[in-house]
């Protein structure tokens, strides 16, 4: 019975020893693979390449952050410039409105001057007609006076009176009064004509001044319109540049985000692989320790059995 037990123990020990040998060989193979993976230049190059890619991505991320800050600063500058352009456009619009208002006032003054000129022309024509009428009346009165004088002279000759005894006082007074009336009418006409000429000259000066102001306002309005068109084109260009920069920055940020996510996934997978290798190694160590304990136990039993068998029968 003891020999059968020993034979069974020997079989089990052989199986355990074969299992331990197999596990030790596999452990050695795994250890050699791990050491080769750690010390091999391929692994080191892979790790270096991984670190280099990680460093390059970090540098790219920093560069993208700096470019983002620069783009934000440029955006703020562009926004300030757009605000300045808007304020300038508002000022130019106000100046344009003021120029239009001045132009409307100038046109109104020009229309008033034209009306005044037309009225002055009509007044001058009317005064000329009145002067012609006065001249006609004066000529008629003069002709009547000549006729009266001639008839009076004929009546004097018919009476044959002495020329010293007759003194035509009334006729002379009447002639003097007519001459004074005529002189006053002429002076009034000259005064009115000079006033009309002065008013006409003033109206012409005001008309020329209004025309010059109108031309200057038109030129200023054209310059303002050109400046406004240029500012609008510059504003559109700045907005397009800003939108394009925003699109480029958004695309680069998305690319960097995708790259970071891919690296993070790769990092997680590498961590999982390393954790799995460490867990397998730990299990192998525990299995090795348990097998070593079993081998030591069987060795002790065998040594005790051999000692017992070698003892004398007594």
SS3 (DSSP) at 164: coil
249 within a domain of the structure (yes/no): yes
* Rounded average pLDDT over 12-18: 83
> Is residue 169 assigned to a domain?
no
d(CA 276, CA 15): 29
Report the number of distinct structural domains present in the chain.
1
Per-residue pLDDT, averaged over 182-206, amounts to 76
Please work out, in degrees rounded to the nearest 5, the angle formed at the alpha carbon of residue 91 by the alpha carbons of 90 and 97.
Answer: 90
Q: Determine the Cα–Cα distance for residues 26 and 29; give it in Å rounded to an integer.
A: 5
Burial pattern 275-290, b for ≥16 Cβ within 10 A else e, equals eeeeeeeeebeeeeee
Q: Report the predicted TM-score, pTM, of the whole model to 2 decimal places.
A: 0.33
Q: What is the pLDDT of residue 143?
A: 79
Q: Average pLDDT of 15-26?
A: 85
**Which among 231, 185, 257 is positioned nearest to 82, based on CA atoms?**
231
- The residue count of the chain comes to 314
Q: Note the pLDDT of residue 312.
A: 58
DSSP 8-state class, residue 40: S
Q: Which two tokens stand for residue 88?
A: 């300038």
Can you tell me which residue has the tokens 């690319």? 255
Mean pLDDT, all residues of the chain: 78
In a domain, 91, yes or no: yes
Closest CA to 192 of 243, 138, 106, 126: 126
Interval 240-245 mean pLDDT: 85
Q: Give a yes or no: residue 134 inside a domain.
A: yes
CA atoms within 13 A on the CB side of 64: 19
**Residue 244 within a domain:** yes
250 within some domain: yes
For tokens 């000329």, name the residue.
Answer: 128
Confidence (pLDDT) at 170: 58
pLDDT the model gives residue 166 = 42
At residue 160, the pLDDT reads: 47
Q: What is the pLDDT of residue 159?
A: 46
Is residue 144 scored above 80 in pLDDT? no
- 198 domain residue, yes or no: yes
Q: Each residue of 70-113: pLDDT tens digit?
A: 888 888 888 888 888 888 888 888 888 888 888 888 788 888 87
The answer to the question of residue 16 being in a domain is no
Q: Measured between alpha carbons, how far is 290 from 181 in angstroms, rounded to an integer? A: 157
DSSP-assigned letter for residue 277: H
Q: List, for residues 264-291, the tens digit of each pLDDT value.
A: 888 888 888 888 888 888 888 888 888 8
**Phi, psi of 167, rounded to the nearest 5 degrees:** -130, 105
φ/ψ region of 250 (left if φ > 0, alpha if ψ in -120 to 50, else beta) reads alpha
Question: Residue 163's pLDDT is what?
Answer: 46
| Separation between Cα atoms, residue 43 and residue 34, nearest integer Å | 10
Phi, psi at 165, each rounded to 5°: -75, -20
pLDDT at 164: 43
Q: Which domain holds residue 280?
A: 40-156+187-309
Q: Which of 124, 126, 135 is nearest to 185 (CA)?
A: 135
User: Residue 165 above 70 pLDDT?
Assistant: no
């Amino acid at each position: 019975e003891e020999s059968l037990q020993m034979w069974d123990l020997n079989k089990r020990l052989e199986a355990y020893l074969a299992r331990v040998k197999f596990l030790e060989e596999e452990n050695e193979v795994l250890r050699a693979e791990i050491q080769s993976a750690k010390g091999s230049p391929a692994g080191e190059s892979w790790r270096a390449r991984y670190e280099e890619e990680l460093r390059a991505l970090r540098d790219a991320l920093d560069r993208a952050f700096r470019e983002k800050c620069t783009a934000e600063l440029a955006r703020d500058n562009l926004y300030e410039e757009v605000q300045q352009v808007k304020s300038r456009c508002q000022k130019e619009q106000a100046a344009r409105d003021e120029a239009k208002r001045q132009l409307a006032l100038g046109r109104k003054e020009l229309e008033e001057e034209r009306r005044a000129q037309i009225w002055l022309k009509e007044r001058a024509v009317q005064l000329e007609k009145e002067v012609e009428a006065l001249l006609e009346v004066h000529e008629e009165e003069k002709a009547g006076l000549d006729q009266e004088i001639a008839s009076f002279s004929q009546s004097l000759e018919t009476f044959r009176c002495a020329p010293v005894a007759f003194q035509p006082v009334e006729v002379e007074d009447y002639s003097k009064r007519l001459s004074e009336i005529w002189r006053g009418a002429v002076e009034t006409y000259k005064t009115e004509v000079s006033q009309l000429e002065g008013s006409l000259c003033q109206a012409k000066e005001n008309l020329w001044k209004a025309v010059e102001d109108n031309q200057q306002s038109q030129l200023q309005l054209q310059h303002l319109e050109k400046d406004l068109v240029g500012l609008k084109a510059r504003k559109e260009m700045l907005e397009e540049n800003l939108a394009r920069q925003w699109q480029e920055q958004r695309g680069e940020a998305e690319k960097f985000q995708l790259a970071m996510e891919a690296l993070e996934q790769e990092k997680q997978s590498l961590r999982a692989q390393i954790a799995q290798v460490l867990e397998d190694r730990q299990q192998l160590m525990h299995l090795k320790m348990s097998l070593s304990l079993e081998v030591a136990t069987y060795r002790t039993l065998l040594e005790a059995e051999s000692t017992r068998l070698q003892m004398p029968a007594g």
